[in-house]
A and B are shown apart, each in its own frame.
Chain A
Amino acid sequence: GDSVTQMEGPVTLSEEACLTINCTYTATGYPSLFWYVQYPGEGLQLLLKATKADDKGSNKGFEATYRKETTSFHLEKGSVQVSDSAVYFCALRRSGGSNYKLTFGKGTLLTVNP
């Protein structure tokens, strides 16, 4: 079945440090890929998405590129802020058929210190 594997956390960084959270997936066909973010006490918010190979999703300084050859969708940011502290979830959604559910990774807790 479909699965998403994320880098184990927690990740602790200082403000302005570079961030990479690794995400790899297993799925048949060409899934769409998403990063969701969960701020403390809140629900899941879509951060960015990519729907086909070599697409780059970006939002709020975060980027992720859909790499079909390595089945990866790593999340990156060049300079993190304290306000980026949250749990980040990588997810996929299979294309075609009736399988429209999201399959999530375990989440990575990011803490950014001033």
Chain B
Amino acid sequence: EPEVTQTPSHQVTQMGQEVILRCVPISNHLYFYWYRQILGQKVEFLVSFYNNEISEKSEIFDDQFSVERPDGSNFTLKIRSTKLEDSAMYFCASSPTSRVSNQPQHFGDGTRLSIL
């Protein structure tokens, strides 16, 4: 069964450094998402992406964050200048369409980001 893959599985970065988290969504999917889960807290929506542009973003997704689909297969999340509070598990997800609300989103295994 096709799956969403994320790399790296664990990223350790110094505060203030830029970090790029990578995701390869399922190949025929059209909608892409990033979520994060701070340790012990709920999974929170960050951003959704369709047709090479952001379709929705949360208040968490400020100017420090950006997303890109550089080559038609990868989907990346960049954090420009990391802060301690960015430490979390980041999940990428994709769905075949989003026009039907019952389409499930398929999640990757996540990247654990640790900011020192």
Q: Taking the complex as formed, is A25 at the interface, i.e. its CB lies under 8 A from any CB of chain B?
A: no
Specify which chain A residues have a CB less than 8 angstroms from the CB of B25 in the assembled complex. Answer: none
- In the complex, the answer to whether B43 meets A101 with C-beta atoms within 8 Å is no
- In the complex, the answer to whether A31 meets B101 with C-beta atoms within 8 Å is yes
- In the complex, the answer to whether B42 meets A46 with C-beta atoms within 8 Å is no
Q: What is the CB-to-nearest-CB distance from B15 to chain A, in angstroms, rounded to a whole number?
A: 26
Q: Taking the complex as formed, is A61 at the interface, i.e. its CB lies under 8 A from any CB of chain B?
A: no
- Tell me the complex Cα distance, A44–B43, Å: 10
Contact of A49 among B48, B98, B102 (CB under 8 A): B102
- Tell me the complex Cα distance, A106–B39, Å: 11
Q: Which of A56-98 contact B (CB under 8 A)?
A: 89, 91, 93-96, 98
- Tell me the complex Cα distance, A46–B4, Å: 13
Q: What is the CB-to-nearest-CB distance from B41 to chain A, in angstroms, rounded to a whole number?
A: 7
Specify which chain B residues have a CB less than 8 angstroms from the CB of A100 in the assembled complex. Answer: 31, 48, 55-56, 95, 98, 101
Count of residues in B whose CB is under 8 Å from the partner chain: 27
Interface class of chain A by DSSP? loop
- In the complex, the answer to whether A44 meets B42 with C-beta atoms within 8 Å is no
Q: What is the CB-to-nearest-CB distance from A41 to chain B, in angstroms, rounded to a whole number?
A: 8
Q: Which of B29-67 contact A (CB under 8 A)?
A: 31, 33, 35, 41-45, 48, 55-56, 58
- In the complex, the answer to whether B42 meets A106 with C-beta atoms within 8 Å is yes
Q: Taking the complex as formed, is B7 at the interface, i.e. its CB lies under 8 A from any CB of chain A?
A: no
Specify which chain A residues have a CB less than 8 angstroms from the CB of B41 in the assembled complex. Answer: 106
Q: Taking the complex as formed, is A102 at the interface, i.e. its CB lies under 8 A from any CB of chain B?
A: yes
Q: Are A107 and B42 also in contact (CB < 8 A) when A32-B101, A100-B101 are? A: yes
Contact of A46 among B35, B45, B104, B108 (CB under 8 A): B104
- Tell me the complex Cα distance, A95–B99, Å: 9
CB closest chain-B residue, reference A103: B45
Identify the 8 closest CB pairs spanning chains A and B, nearest first: A43-B109, A51-B102, A100-B98, A95-B101, A44-B107, A101-B45, A104-B43, A32-B102
Chain A residues within CB distance 8 Å of chain B: 31-32, 34, 36, 41-46, 49, 51, 89, 91, 93-96, 98-107
